[in-house]
Amino acid sequence: MSILDIIGIASGLLAFSSYFFYIPAILQGRTRPNRASWWIWGGIGALIVASYYASGARGTIWVPLSEAIGPAIIALLSIKYGEGGWTRLDKWCLFGASIGTFLWWFTDSAVVGLVAYLLTDLMAVVPTLRKSLHRPEHEDRNAWGLTFGGQVLNFFALETFSFSLALYPVYMIITNGIIFALQFKKRGAKAFSSIDIVSQCLSDIPRTSAFQQAIQESVKPGDTVLECGVGSGILTLFAAKAGARKVVAVEYDPFVAEAAKRVIAVNNQHTVDMRIGDGRSYEFEPGLKFDAVIIEMLTTGMIEEYQVGVINNLHRQGVVKDSTVFIPSHQDTFATLGNFDFTCYGCTVPFIRHTWKFYDAPMKDFKPFTDQALLHSVDFSRAIAEKFEGTIDFVANKSGVINSVRLSSVCHPTRNSSLSDTHSLNGPVVIPMEEKQVEAGEKIHLSVSYVFGGGYEGFHASI
């Protein structure tokens, strides 16, 4: 056995071992395979096995059969655990793969057959490549690393180099390498849930009553309604009782979803379709359109919660219309520069501080040095840039030291209503900054940048 034979065997074993990472990751909910990709890859494997069988090469069918088993298993698992398969891109890729498969199967030319095969495979790569670009947290880095490593070894197992021989391994190195590299892209924060937060929202009368009124005004009998981030289920109940024909309720946390299902059952609301999933990536069935969308996944400035990511997913999939009513409709965020007393318990603690209205006065001692100014207004009826970058020009109204910026938000349940901070919604946040001495009348330039839903880790503010 030559060294090239050993390298070739090692490349196959390395690539095949990737399935021992990928399949468990699917079953554990850490990976969500794209259906279009894996249906195509599963189909390719089946065709290769069929061609071996039809040609009579049944004694050597076991190698291609072993290579087809992994994609076939993942294709089947994707039906329940995967995502995609119905978007416009997925459909075009499935169509392109059908053309490539036809050419590959019926051509007598080896070169045309190879190009047709690569076209078919490329149609499988594109949906997973797009998913890895936008949501790398839904792929398995270990599995793609092993696949990429196997393809690199496969290239070095070539006995002779020619265009036709090198085209396939080079193509595989490039495509698998790109997907693997995207796994190192900063991953979106995992969705979180807390019964404590859910209970606080439910018990917050001003907040919940404002949303109840907005839903009663906006949801019409016969509407199809979506709520993402169901929590206790109270807003879903409001929509059902308003006469909605169907309410699709999506909750990330399985335990919270089960609790909400019990709440809905006790209230005899049979039009609610409870589902478990992450609203930022949940794939809805073809043809579904919502008349009203309820998403209260808000924090001050939407720095920590995932409202924007969920909204963009709905627009991306086309499940909302120009006439769809969003509850809330929009949110405004304001900034104020000032001086915050960071001393507490005998220590100086320059830490990000939420200043809820029910906190004791010493824990929210912020002295403004400027007027409040609008930082941004986010309209949920359209897709939103997920990274915000903005500036504000202030004029100091007193002399002293500025050491922080205070953010506050006003939520608008409808176009004609507003809701400032309550006991569970949009508590003002004071963020420490480098100290700056200013004089009354001095112009101050504030720059702010962050990713909506990315947390304070990526928040930057400077003057």
CATH code for the domain in which residue 321 is found: 3.40.50.150
Specify the amino acid at residue 117: Y
How many domains would you assign to the chain? 3
pLDDT at 215: 98
Give 317: exposed, middle or buried? Use CB within 10 Å, 0-12, 13-18, 19+: middle
Give yes or no for a contact between 291 and 324, defined as CB atoms under 8 angstroms apart: yes
The verdict on 237 and 380 lying in the same domain is no
Domain endpoint, select from 295, 327, 359: 327
Specify whether the backbone of 287 is left (phi greater than 0), alpha (psi in -120 to 50) or beta.
left
Whether omega before 328 lies within 30 degrees of 0, making that bond cis, reads yes
Q: List Cβ neighbours of 319 (8 Å cut-off, separation of 6 or more).
A: 226, 284, 288, 289, 290
The verdict on 351 and 304 lying in the same domain is no
Rounded to 5 degrees, what angle do the CA atoms 137, 138, 144 make?
90
The verdict on 141 and 165 lying in the same domain is yes
The verdict on 84 and 72 lying in the same domain is yes
The verdict on 293 and 334 lying in the same domain is no
The verdict on 176 and 270 lying in the same domain is no
Instruction: Compute the distance between CA of residue 388 and CA of residue 385 in angstroms, rounded to an integer.
Output: 7
CATH number at residue 454: 2.70.160.11
Give yes or no for a contact between 154 and 11, defined as CB atoms under 8 angstroms apart: yes
59 phi and psi angles, rounded to 5 deg: -75, -25
The verdict on 9 and 132 lying in the same domain is yes
* 44 within a domain of the structure (yes/no): yes
Rounded to 5 degrees, what angle do the CA atoms 259, 264, 266 make?
95
Q: List Cβ neighbours of 129 (8 Å cut-off, separation of 6 or more).
A: 175, 178, 179, 182
pLDDT at 263: 95
Q: Report strand pairing: 387-395 vs 443-451.
A: antiparallel
The verdict on 16 and 124 lying in the same domain is yes
The verdict on 119 and 232 lying in the same domain is no
Domain endpoint, select from 285, 308, 327: 327
The verdict on 218 and 319 lying in the same domain is yes
pLDDT at 436: 96
The verdict on 319 and 346 lying in the same domain is no
pLDDT at 382: 95
Residue count of the chain, please give it.
Answer: 463
The alpha-carbon radius of gyration of the chain (Å, integer) is 27
Question: What are the tokens at 86?
Answer: 């119905």
Range of the domain at 429: 330-462
* 58 within a domain of the structure (yes/no): yes
Domain endpoint, select from 291, 311, 327: 327
pLDDT tens, per residue, the chain with 463 residues = 688 778 878 887 888 899 999 999 998 877 889 899 999 998 888 887 777 566 665 554 555 566 788 899 999 999 888 877 667 777 888 888 888 878 877 777 767 777 888 888 899 999 999 888 877 877 899 999 999 998 898 888 877 777 767 888 898 899 999 999 998 876 555 555 578 889 999 999 999 999 999 999 999 999 999 999 999 999 999 999 999 999 999 998 888 989 999 999 999 999 999 998 889 988 888 889 999 999 999 999 999 999 999 999 999 989 999 999 999 999 999 999 999 999 999 999 999 999 998 999 989 999 999 999 999 999 999 999 999 999 999 999 999 999 999 999 999 999 999 999 999 999 999 999 999 999 999 999 999 999 999 999 899 999 9
The verdict on 82 and 119 lying in the same domain is yes
* 253 within a domain of the structure (yes/no): yes
Give 168: exposed, middle or buried? Use CB within 10 Å, 0-12, 13-18, 19+: middle
pLDDT at 346: 93
Give yes or no for a contact between 433 and 461, defined as CB atoms under 8 angstroms apart: yes
- What b/e readout covers 88-110, taking b as 16+ CB neighbours within 10 angstroms? eebeebbebbeebbebbeeeeee
